[in-house]
Structures are given as structure tokens and as C-alpha cells.
Chain A
Amino acid sequence: MTIDRDNMRRKDLVSGIVLMLFGAWVVYETCAKVPMKGSWGGVMNVWYVSPGLFPIFIGSILFFFGAALIAVAVRHLGFHAIRDEVRSRARAVAGSREIPEPVFRFLAVVVILAFYIYMNMPRVDFYLNSILFLVVIIHVFYLDELQVMRKLFRFYLAGSILFLVYFASGLDERIGGSIPYPADLLAILFTAVFAAYAWNLVRPRRDQVSKCRQAVLVALATPLLIGGLFKYFLLVPLPKEGLVVALMDAVYFGLF
């Protein structure tokens, strides 16, 4: 119980510092940019009408709360304990080689999501992007074996970084001039290679192989179902309509 609370106070110390900095930044940002008097938008400004009133109030309260958190933590832990803690942490970080499992799992989810949303969502056809995402994330977590997980994730990371370079270098637009949908085709390739790699990793074990099959099936069916529902029933255009959407459009409007 006490260890738990000690631990929490240590975390509070960190969040308290972050909050104080954040609060100070909010107040500074508001004071620097928001007009406190003069006319704006046809309304005469007085302090109580200013758009800055509310943010300054919030910023100062957050600053104050952050300070309170720090005070509680310092009183609870004692100043010396904190100093030693910081030192030992710094040493531990410098010494560690491999990321511990919970941190790894967290990073894996966040990184896969980040590539899915930030890199591919605006550039790769929604279906192909979602299929890629599902294939990767289900494989990584459903096989649920730390070593396999690490390998698969490293493979995905490498591939995605290649994609990043591909998009950043402007190669996509250049190739797109002569070959239609180059990014989509690459995504299909990557998805297939990833699935094959995963299958190869666990090939000798029947239960894991059947999990792979499930993963691929779910990954193929889900976006088709969800995306189709949104596009043709709810009439919501998809974020990026590339190869597969063009295909489906052609079929849909050819039929109806």
C-alpha cells in the first residue's frame, strides 16, 4: 500500500512539473497574443469581455494545482529521496538495452496507430490502409508471444520507414504520373510480405498458423464491410479513395 502510494507521488512529481510549465505557457501565450482592450469584431473590449479572460484563469489555476501536486509529493517523499531517485533513474536509463515488455507493447500500439493515421490515411486507399493496419496489429498482438512480437514489430517498423522515405522524397508524385496508384500497389505488396513473414515465423505450430489465418480473414473482411457501409449506405466519402475505391465505384455504378 505504502509502496504504491510512494510510486504514485513520484509520478505526481513529474506531472506536477509538467502542469506548472503548461500553465505558465498558457498564461504567457494568452498575454502575448490576445488583445485585452480595444475594439475587435465590433465589440468594445474591456477586461471582462476579452477573449483572454478565460485562458488566463485556466492557466493560472493549472499552474497552482501543479505546484500543489509537487508540494504534496515532496512532503510525502522527502527531498533527499527524490534526489537519489533521479540519479538512479538516470543510471538505469543509460544502462538498459532492451525495452521492457509493457513499454514495448505501449510503443507498438502507438507507433502502428501513428503510421496508420498520420502517414497512410491521407495517402493510401482507405481499404488497403486499413487492411495493412489490421493485418499488422492483429498479428503482433494476437500471436501474443514476446519474441515473435518484437520481430514482427521490427519488420513493420522497417517497412514503414521505407514508406516514409518514399513519401517524403516526393517519389510518389513522380511515379504517380506514369503508373496509377503506386502507393496503393506498394501497400498491397507490403501487406502480403508482412503476412508471409509472420506465417513463416510461426509455421511449425498449428495453433499459431490458424491464428494467422484468422488475422488475415478479419483484416480483409472488416474494412470491406465497414467501408462499404459508410460509403454506399451512409454516403460518407472515405478519407483517401484510391485503387480499391475506384474499382468498387466502377462496379457499383456499373451495376446500378
Chain B
Amino acid sequence: MIGIERLDTFFTILIGMGTQPTSLLLLFGATLLGIIFGALPGLTATLGIALLTTLTYGMGPAPAMVALLGIYVGGVYGGSYSSILINIPGTPAAAATALEGYPLACRGEAGRAIGATTTASCIGTLIGMLFMVTMTPIVSAFALQFTSFEFFLLAFFGIIISGTLSSSDLVIKGWISGFLGLFLACMGRDPLQAFPRFTFGFPQLESGLDVVAVIIGAFGIPQIIQVLGGTFCAGEARQLTKVLPSFKLMVQNSGNIVRSSLIGVGIGSVPGIGEDVAAWMSYGAAKNASKQPEKFGTGVYEGVIATETANNSCIGGAIIPLLSLGIPGSPPAAMLLGALMLHGVTPGPMLSIEHPNFILEVTAILFLASIAMWIIGIVLARQVVKVLRLPPQIFMPIVVVLCIIGSYGLGLNLFNLYVMLPVGIVAYFMTEMKYPIAPLVIGYILGPMADENLRRALMISHGSFLPMFTRPVCLLLLAVILLTILSQMGLFRWLRQRRHANRQGTE
């Protein structure tokens, strides 16, 4: 698929960049900045790229790309820190990581967890990059298979997945939480006809709720209340023995890693959805494929590895349609598109003709960035875990201030803050009543996609569902959805049996 010549050019570029001290310095600096951006709740990779776009205005396109991709890779990875350490995801992409990462931190294994996610992120980025350099035409063609019906089914699948993340209590509670998320997503002007729904006349609600405000509200506020309320464990910092994950752990998870990166690249390449969905889907897939699905939620390495591999491999996936079709595959990629145009590079089908080496350059930068991220990550892991030694009653209030200024800074909107607290209080009560919060967030993220695309698809087919059964990708998605539901039915039966047995045991 790729000629020897291309590979040769690739290594020439790679070595050229790898031996240039200034570009290396820039790379490490940008990646570190990205990690910080990702790790602070409320700051996202998108905002980081936006900031660097302005700062790199004066540079040439090549060093600008180094800085931008560095912050992109770092930002997507950095979100895992706050997820693992304090159970407040720094970015939507890292929300799934908190599910397994935080219980690990509670067991005192924060350092090892970060080591595992760092390695997984690095491998994920590299696999995404591999796809980018070898399979761009195929992945682009795949991305073009997605019409409104496929988008709807994909969103629907994501919501179904939330069922598999259901709570320790009744299964139905996961679904309720998901539907509440869908309701939150309805607020604002509807995407097709701009009709205001549930806005109660507030102009602030017209554009809907901000995703970061919802995520920080839903995950952050309950965590703050619980820690300060003294009813919940805060992560523990034990003396670290080892941050580097054992070779054995990685080998055991090789299947998991491959599956997760495939999901990441696939989801990343589909326009409009990105790292967050990829992470959730691969988490669900890992749980379904696992031999011990019941252990998920209590801190298993499989979980964090799945989510972090997927969200980082998503980068490569998202860059493919960006460069080959000019369609950004995820929100940070959209910002990247803007930045590229600022530097006179318009991505699209003509890119490979006008700038023949550009894709290879991007690949080389991604390669170096993931290495830089891995090195910084392993060094940082030891240090960041130390924040857990601060007394939580001091640490948590600082986190509050960070969350607040972060989610304000995203849209400069006080209303985001006003939304955060009520969402958080509802989420706190839901947590207390054993409703899982994760489905709420998935429902919120995927709701508009399901809504908009179903209606548009029906508009195009004049109300007929027939196209859903004639298009190949649709059929594939339908099959996967059916399988997931059936496996849940199995789980249902199994749960019922177990509950029955339990009751007989206690009575």
C-alpha cells in the first residue's frame, strides 16, 4: 500500500526532526503544556490548540504543527490524571477512565494506574498513526459510509452501551440515568429547525448546556460533596514501588489494546464524534469481552487501558478525514483545521498533491509526540501522585476554584457555572441512590446526534425506515446493537437468578 520510497521519506523526516534540538524542545514543551491542559478540570485539548494557534501565528507551518500536535496528544492523554487521582475528569475524553482509575487510586495504586494509562496512550497514538500512514484511503472511504441513518444507529449504540455500565443496584437505573442525559441534551434550539426546546425564555439556554459544565457538575460536584462530607475515600498515595507497568500486564492486554485502538481509529474517523465516545465504546467492549465483567467498576487495569488506548488512537483516526477530506473528525481536530488554514495549508483531497510530504510530516510529528508524551508521563506520574498527600480538605477547595475558572473560561459564560451546581446536586443524590452517572454523560453527549440524525434521515427517506435495512454499515451496526441487547438480556436473567438465590440465602 505504501511504497518503499514513502517509508524512506518518512524516516528522513523523522530523523531530521528528531535530531533538531529546537523542534524537540518545542515538542516537549507543547506536550507538557497539553498534559497540564488536559489534567486541569475544565481546560480541554481544544482550548489548548486554540491558544497555541494564536501563539504560533508567527512561526512557519512545520514548527507550528509540532506545537499543535504536541498539545493535542498531550491534552487527550492528560485528562486521565485528574480522572484517576480525584475522580473528576479533566476532559470529556477521560470521563470513562475515572470509572476504573479512581478505584485504583483508592487502593493506593494511582502511580501504577497512571503508568499503565501512559503506556496505553502511547501505544494507542502509535497505532492511530500507523493507520494514518498506511490506510488513509480505506479509512476515508469508511468515513464516507456514514449517512444520517448510520449516525443515528451509532449514537443509539452508544446509548445502549450505557446499559452495560449499569449500576450495582437495579439494571433499570442505568437506563434512567441515560435518559436523563438525553433530556439534558434536548435543551436549547433543536439542531434542524432551530426551534427552542425547554429554554423557558432564557437566552442563555438557547445554545443548550455546555458539555464541560455538565461533566464537571455531574462528576466533580458529587465528588467534592462526598470528600468534604467525609463519606467517601479520597485517593491514597502510598510509597511508590514502580510506575512502569509490567511487561506481563501489557502482554495480557494485547488483545484489549488492539481492539481498543481499532475502535478508537474507527470512531475518530467518523466526522463529528471523537475521543469521548471512543473511550466509552471501547470501555463497553472491553467489559463485554472480559472474562470477569463483574469486576469492572472496582478498579481493573483492563478498563483504564481500554479507554486510554481508544481516546489516543482516536487522534490518528480523526486526522485522517481531516487531512484527506477536510472534515474534522472531532472537536480538537476542528480547531486544528482552523490552525492549519491560518498557516496556508487547506486540508482536503488536494493536500497530497499540493503538499506531498505533509501527511508524512504529520505522522512523524505524531510519532515523536507520543514518545515525548510517554517520557514526560512516566516522569510526571511519580510527582503528580504526591498531590494526594495534601489533606483533602485543602486540596478539594482548590479543585473547586480550578473547576470554576476552567468551565467559565471555556465559553466566558457565567451561566455554565449556574448550571454546574444544580446538575451536581442532582448527580449527588443520584449517586447516593446508586444511579450510575456515566450513562447520563453518554446520553448527554450522544443525544443531539441521535435526535438530529434520526429526524434528518426520516426527512430524506420521507418517513421510511427501509434504508436502515439496505445499507451495509447500517446492517452491521444493527447486528452489533442486537447482540449487545441480547447479551444484556442474558445478564438480566443471570441477575434475576442471583437475586433469587440471595434472597433465599438471607431469608
Contact = CB atoms under 8 A, between A and B. Distances in A.
B146 interface: no
B112 to A, nearest CB: 29
Contacts of A239: 408, 414, 417
Interface in B463-477: 463
Interface string A218-231: 10001100110010
B183 A109 contact: no
Given A106-B225, A138-B394, A117 B230 contact: no
Interface string B184-223: 0010001011110110000000000000000000000100
Interface string B401-429: 11011001100101001101100010010
Contact of A102 (B231, B397, B408): B231
A62 to B, nearest CB: 5
A235 to B, nearest CB: 8
A236 B425 CA distance: 27
B501 interface: no
Contact of A117 (B47, B397, B418): B418
Interface in A107-126: 108-110, 113-114, 116-118, 121-122, 126
A8 interface: yes
Grouping DSSP codes into helix (H, G, I), strand (E, B) and loop, the B interface class, with mixed when no group exceeds half, is helix
Interface in A24-61: 26, 29-30, 33-35, 40-41, 43, 45-46, 48-55, 58-59, 61
Contacts of A108: 228
A90 interface: no
B382 interface: no
Given A62-B179, A134-B397, A110 B195 contact: no
A46 B463 contact: yes
Number of contact residues on A: which range applies?
35 or more
Nearest to B409: A236
Interface in A176-234: 214-215, 218, 222-223, 226-227, 230, 234
**Which of B182, B193, B408, B450 has the most C-beta atoms of chain A within 10 angstroms of its own C-beta?**
B193
B336 interface: no
Interface residues of B, number: 60
Nearest to A113: B421
A234 to B, nearest CB: 6
Count chain B CB atoms within 10 A of each CB in A48, A62, A223 and give the residue with the most: A48
A169 interface: no
A58 B418 CA distance: 24
A15 interface: yes
Interface in B317-341: none
B169 interface: yes
A187 to B, nearest CB: 15
A54 B398 contact: no
- Dominant secondary structure at the A interface: helix
B225 to A, nearest CB: 5
Contacts of A137: 228, 397, 400
A137 B396 CA distance: 10
A218 B195 contact: no
Interface in B202-256: 221, 224-225, 228-231
Nearest to A101: B230
A116 B47 CA distance: 25
A156 interface: no
Contact of A141 (B51, B180, B194, B228): B228
A128 to B, nearest CB: 13
Which 5 residue pairs spanning A and B have beta carbons closest together? A41-B193, A51-B190, A236-B409, A142-B393, A48-B458
Given A53-B451, A69-B172, A142-B394, 20 more contacts: A8-B434, A19-B176, A41-B194, A43-B193, A49-B193, A54-B454, A55-B186, A68-B172, A102-B229, A108-B228, A113-B224, A116-B404, A118-B418, A118-B421, A137-B228, A137-B397, A137-B400, A138-B393, A141-B393, A234-B47
14 contacts: A8-B169, A29-B198, A30-B197, A51-B190, A53-B455, A69-B170, A105-B230, A108-B228, A113-B224, A117-B421, A126-B405, A137-B228, A137-B400, A138-B394
